[in-house]
Amino acid sequence: MPSLDYARAKELSETLEQRLADSVETDFTVSRRSVLGGIGLAGSAALAGLGRADGDAHGDSGPDDSSHGNFGVVGEYRDRNFDPHKFLTRFNTGRGGQEYVKQDVYEEDGRTVREFELTAVDTKITIAPGIKFPAWSYNGQVPGPTLRVVEGDLVRVKFSNAGRHVHTIHPHLRNLNPEMDGIPTNGPGVLDSGESFTYEWIAQPAGCHFYHCHTLPLKEHVHRGLYGAVIVDPDPERVAERPEEYCEFHPSQITDELRDELVAEAKTRNHEYPENDAVNEMVMVMNGFDTNFDGDNEVYAVNTRAFAYGVGETDGNGNWKAGETKRPIQVDKTQRQRVYLVNVVEFDPINSLHTHSQFFDYYDHGTLLTPTLNNVDTVMQCQAQRGIIELDYSNHDPGLYMFHAHQSEFAELGWMSFFEVV
């Protein structure tokens, strides 16, 4: 039998999830205020099972399509069965990743090339049980595929637009060629339906980065789902040669011991080194969804599905009957945990992550190999901000440990999850 803690967590997860699903109408007309009214702000009210609220509705199902560019052939990926648990650890490296992301890795002119094919398509995605959202996406999923490369690689992205609107791909990398910036005024500009272009970027700097569409109106193209993470692994050989670029010390302060420590840390972050195998790595993209298009999100999530990492049916011994993939993120307490955290929430200036009963080191943007914040349990990010979180549960008892946004309404509207330490 599951423990009392598991039963209570299951009840909380199911209550909040059901209230959100019941409140957000399938015609996407309910406001965030009425959703929160339906949930009830107090945790005890959520557990008590209050009736759903019928709040004030807005009649607009979305902005005028004509404001987003031209129309054309619509490509659609049918039922990808996006799994937020699989997405956590699906890194596309050119050698492997998601089966429907065409990719390759090869040498060209003395440099490693990692090649990916991304296609913009219109589709509908599940953001809560029974709730579909009309998304614009890369390869039919939100977030888009996580691209993982090594510092100094040439990243070659063959982009095709099969959506109804014009789109681009803009990288948050140190891009030295304005032709490849993925904005309306540079290079090919926006790509119309049926058009394609190959972007090329040098993978720099090392860190946790992302890509997104940079077409006007920008907030619409980002909010609809055109974004994904880019992880640039540090090159340990380069770290050994230029350690001052990976820490906050002057070159005169860098000792041989510090250099060795930085190189060792770089190896744990590089997927081509065996030291990386000792770390459990996860990508968490914090996103939100304005279901009635009034400029205010009604649903929040990590990796798109509200409460996906909540508690469902379990025997309390690590065996889950997932249902709609609803279960905590299981972590081995003997293994180091690393989270690549990216905030892409539109319409809200700040998002956050808070861990219960745990403190962590945070590497802002992941560009350094030494922490920018030590021993904290909450980190804030503005839109486009990202970073790396390092967690250690080795001295914790097995069981459930909650994590969520520390904007309370975000947590109650979907951005609430659990780690299960085993």
d(CA 91, CA 98): 8
Asked whether 262 and 243 are in contact (CB, 8 A), the reply is yes
CA 408 to chain centre: 20
Query: Tens digits of per-residue pLDDT, 64-107?
Result: 444 444 333 345 444 457 889 999 999 999 998 898 899 999 99
d(CA 31, CA 37): 10
Q: What are phi and psi of 20, to 5 degrees?
A: -65, -45
What is the pLDDT, as a whole number, of residue 146? 98
Tell me the angle at which helices 4-23 and 32-39 cross, rounded to the nearest 10 degrees.
140
What is the pLDDT, as a whole number, of residue 19? 85
Taking alpha carbons only, the member of 155, 146, 145 closest to residue 113 is 155
d(CA 3, CA 9): 10
| Strand arrangement, sheet containing 350-355 | 329-331, 416-421, 399-404, 350-355, 378-382
Taking alpha carbons only, the member of 332, 325, 331 closest to residue 311 is 325
User: In this structure, what token pair is assigned to residue 247?
Assistant: 């820490």
Q: Alpha-carbon torsion 59, 35, 129, 386, what sign?
A: positive
Superfamily of domain 4-61+278-421: Cupredoxins -  blue copper proteins (2.60.40.420)
Find the distance separating the first CA and the last CA of the chain, reported in whole Å: 17
DSSP for residue 275: G
Taking alpha carbons only, the member of 146, 170, 171 closest to residue 94 is 146
Superfamily of domain 66-235: Cupredoxins -  blue copper proteins (2.60.40.420)
Asked whether 18 and 324 are in contact (CB, 8 A), the reply is no
d(CA 249, CA 85): 38
Which residues, including other chains, have CB under 8 Å from residue 278's CB and lie 6 or more apart?
268, 335, 336
Q: Where in the chain is the domain with CATH 2.60.40.420?
A: 4-61+278-421, 66-235
Alpha helices in 341-401 (DSSP H): none
DSSP for residue 229: E
Burial of 134 (0-12, 13-18, 19+ CB in 10 A): middle
Asked whether 346 and 340 are in contact (CB, 8 A), the reply is no
What is the pLDDT, as a whole number, of residue 317? 66
User: In this structure, what token pair is assigned to residue 145?
Assistant: 């595929």
Taking alpha carbons only, the member of 354, 353, 371 closest to residue 363 is 371
| Cβ atoms within 10 Å, residue 331 | 19
Note the pTM of the prediction, 2 decimals.
0.90
Mark the ranges of the chain whose per-residue pLDDT is less than 70: 1-4, 25-30, 32-80, 315-318, 321-325
d(CA 139, CA 117): 9
